[in-house]
Amino acid sequence: FASGLWWTLVVLWLLLALAWGALHGWIVPRIGEWRPVLESQASRVLGIPVRIGAIRASREGLMPNFELREVVLQDAQEREALRLSRVVIALSPRSLWNLGFEQLYVEGPEVDVRRSADGRLWVAGLDVSQGGGDDRVVDWFFRQKEAVVLGGTVRWTDEKRQAPTLALSDVQFVVRNGPRSHALRLDATPPADWGQRFSLRGRFRRPLLSL
């Protein structure tokens, strides 16, 4: 049994080394040619259409970075739900294994968040309510190690309370996810008549035996 386990680990490490070598030696130098494949893969993982305007790669040590420009996420009707002018993605062997990223950096996004009259929550046109149609997007996001958003704008519309839209500027958001824990911090500036800049922090843990 011990010998079989040892050879299994050896094979897994060899496969990971081959994947890492292919990433640096083949994919990174030709990343522009892989844009359609990346769009298709991202669309499959997120469950929504994803379009990438341009992409380039750079190598800093063992961890490659990918810079994406004009990333567009579309809703089920193929309408533009969210546009990101600049996204930087850092990969690692662990993130490759999980079809994700080690760190995600998003610069200057503009996001509309809305609670509809029936209580459902929509983010950038995507239903992220409990039991909503785009649960895969949320599940995938909270499996990633770290995400950082800088200089964002969030417009919050609460149709259930019939309140006027609230715009938050200079939004900074950081989330770090572990196997069974999530830590986040949100800093934002509300309109002047609402008060001063605020900070919201949260830490969430899942029970050991939960799915």
Question: Per-residue pLDDT tens for 32-63?
Answer: 777 888 888 878 877 778 888 888 877 666 66
- CA 119-186-89 angle, to 5 degrees, is 100
3-state secondary structure of 77: coil
Average pLDDT over residues 128-134: 62
**pLDDT at site 175:** 94
Average pLDDT over residues 130-139: 63
**pLDDT at site 29:** 65
**pLDDT at site 96:** 63
Query: Which run of H or E residues covers position 41?
Result: helix 35-46
Compute the distance between CA of residue 211 and CA of residue 196 in angstroms, rounded to an integer: 40
45-49, 82-86, 195-199 — most confident range: 195-199
**pLDDT at site 208:** 75
What is the longest distance spanned by two Cα atoms in the chain? 69
**pLDDT at site 95:** 66
**Mean pLDDT of the chain, nearest integer:** 80
Ranges of H-type helices in 63-158: 93-97, 135-141
Q: Exposed/middle/buried for 98, CB within 10 Å: 0-12, 13-18, 19+?
A: middle
Residue whose C-alpha is closest to residue 201's, from 178, 181, 179, 174: 174
Compute the distance between CA of residue 100 and CA of residue 92 in angstroms, rounded to an integer: 9
3-state secondary structure of 98: coil
> CB of 88 within 8 A of CB of 131?
no
Residue 139 has pLDDT above 90, yes or no: no
